[in-house]
Amino acid sequence: MHAQWNDRESLVHPASAPDYMREEQLHALQLQRLRAITRHAYENQALFRERMDARGVKPEDVRTLDDIRKLPFTQKTDLRDTYPYGLFAVPMNEVVRLHASSGTTGKPIVVAYTAEDIEVWKEAMVRTFACAGLHSGDIIQNAYGYGLFTGGLGAHYGAEALGATVIPISGGNSERQIMVMRDFGTTAICATPSYFLHLIEFAEKMGIDWNELPLRVGVFGAEPWSDEMREYIEGKTGIKAYDIYGLSEIIGPGVGMACEKQEGLHIFEDHFMIEIVDPVTDEPMPDGEEGELIITTLSKKAMPVMRYRTHDITSIIAEPCGCGRTIRRINRIARRSDDMFIIRGVNVFPSQVEAALLKVEETLPHYQIVLSRHGGMDQMEVQVEVTAETFSDTVRGVEAVHKQLSDAIAHILGIRVKLTLVQPNTIERSMGKAKRVIDNRKS
Ligand SMILES: [Zn+2]
């Protein structure tokens, strides 16, 4: 039990109690759940059982938390190859909800929940919102898409269980979003960061003064974004922008969340066990060192996912957090190995480019990377919007800004790429996840 629950100043929802668990207690709970879920998956998931048998590992071989390393990994392709229901571990009459990923390549990934799984998800989302200092009395405008995507309903049920008022507005219709935000007294918004950037522009066009809105919190996720982007959003609107982490394959939003200290994301470790491994050798990485994040669902029954390879690159922050939570944190996930592309032998992540661009004052947070091939050589062009004033000679002129941005990108990537400064509102806006890279190399 946490001493501050009844303190108005730092109201913590009772669902957040596990965030403050003692380490031994957490580890005991994790081990108990890991053993149970390993057995459940072994008995009910053919693919997992085959792989365990091939390794000669039995569920009873899991005696300590470190024994998780004996278990086989799950790859995203496993979820595709078993489409639609091949990884379900309960009879269909126990499945109360399905979601699916949009699936840009081929078949989507289908995920399932029992009634109990929905409760776990709801609890994780309550703890997520509590990390952002939200509580009953808050009015949460949920601009995540409702539907097969996990974002909308995940945030919705969490917000209701928190005791907050939820506005299920879904994505799109920006003018109405702003009107609702103002007239309904929205205090928190859930959206992708790129959609919120779009709303910032809309609000400006409508002559809205952010200081006059009660909005104080943004819960932004579902796509990688940088700390520089967070600073931009906070500076522009005066709200506090929180990074939320989740993935449909694991449960949806609510796997991890930034707290008011804004240093990394707490992972709800009693439900999601994390490891960081070297993506090439699969060896565990020490705390503080970067590697691929591996997640095991400890509580989910309909479709347990054992040692899932997220392709997200991050590291564990071992130091205790100033907020008092004892569950560990990972660093902001600014890089996904899936987003990486190679130009002239150099590995490039869009978020590196974003960080370089936003260090320059005249930059607007709207950019696109265009890849093409000329005469057998790969070319990369960065198109970025800069303020209208940059194009008038009064400030410091286009050339000076161009040079500064060009140098900033070269400094981060180690190679020179083509850079084009464009007028505000040139680059297409996104209602959901932004498309940062256009790859014309194959066509
Ligand atoms: Zn914290």
* Residue 395 confidence (pLDDT): 61
Positive or negative: CA dihedral 88, 93, 99, 101? positive
- The Å distance, Cα 335 to ligand 1 centre, comes to 22
DSSP line for 284-333: BPPTTS-EEEEEEESS--SS---SEEEEEEE-EE-SPPTT---S-EE---
pLDDT digits (tens, 9 = 90+) for 79-92: 999 999 999 999 99
- The Å distance, Cα 262 to ligand 1 centre, comes to 7
Secondary structure of residue 384 in the 3-state scheme = strand
Helices then strands (H, E): number in the chain? 11, 21
Longest dimension (CA), the chain: 73
- The Å distance, Cα 252 to ligand 1 centre, comes to 21
- The Å distance, Cα 12 to ligand 1 centre, comes to 13
- The Å distance, Cα 131 to ligand 1 centre, comes to 8
* Residue 2 confidence (pLDDT): 46
- The Å distance, Cα 258 to ligand 1 centre, comes to 7
- The Å distance, Cα 213 to ligand 1 centre, comes to 27
In the numeric block, the tokens 């571990």 are attached to 89
- The Å distance, Cα 261 to ligand 1 centre, comes to 6
DSSP line for 244-256: EEEETTTTEEEEE
- The Å distance, Cα 321 to ligand 1 centre, comes to 5
* Residue 7 confidence (pLDDT): 45
- The Å distance, Cα 173 to ligand 1 centre, comes to 34
- The Å distance, Cα 340 to ligand 1 centre, comes to 29
- The Å distance, Cα 240 to ligand 1 centre, comes to 15
- The Å distance, Cα 192 to ligand 1 centre, comes to 22
Q: Which helix (H) or strand (E) holds 33?
A: helix 23-44
C-alpha span between 435 and 195 (Å, rounded): 11
- The Å distance, Cα 120 to ligand 1 centre, comes to 21
Secondary structure of residue 236 in the 3-state scheme = helix
- The Å distance, Cα 238 to ligand 1 centre, comes to 21
- The Å distance, Cα 19 to ligand 1 centre, comes to 9
* Residue 5 confidence (pLDDT): 44
- The Å distance, Cα 4 to ligand 1 centre, comes to 15
- The Å distance, Cα 322 to ligand 1 centre, comes to 6
pLDDT digits (tens, 9 = 90+) for 314-341: 999 999 999 999 999 999 987 787 788 8
- The one-digit pLDDT tens for each residue of the chain (443 residues) are 444 444 444 567 899 999 999 999 999 999 999 999 999 999 999 999 999 999 999 999 999 999 999 999 999 999 999 999 999 999 999 999 999 986 656 788 999 999 999 999 999 999 999 999 999 999 999 999 999 999 999 999 999 999 999 999 999 999 999 999 999 999 999 999 999 999 999 999 999 999 999 999 999 998 888 899 999 999 999 999 999 999 999 999 999 999 999 999 999 999 999 999 998 899 999 999 999 999 999 999 999 999 999 999 999 999 999 999 999 999 998 778 778 888 888 889 898 899 999 999 999 999 999 999 988 888 999 999 999 888 886 667 889 999 999 999 999 898 999 999 999 999 998 877 888 999 998 76
- The Å distance, Cα 241 to ligand 1 centre, comes to 15
- The Å distance, Cα 320 to ligand 1 centre, comes to 8
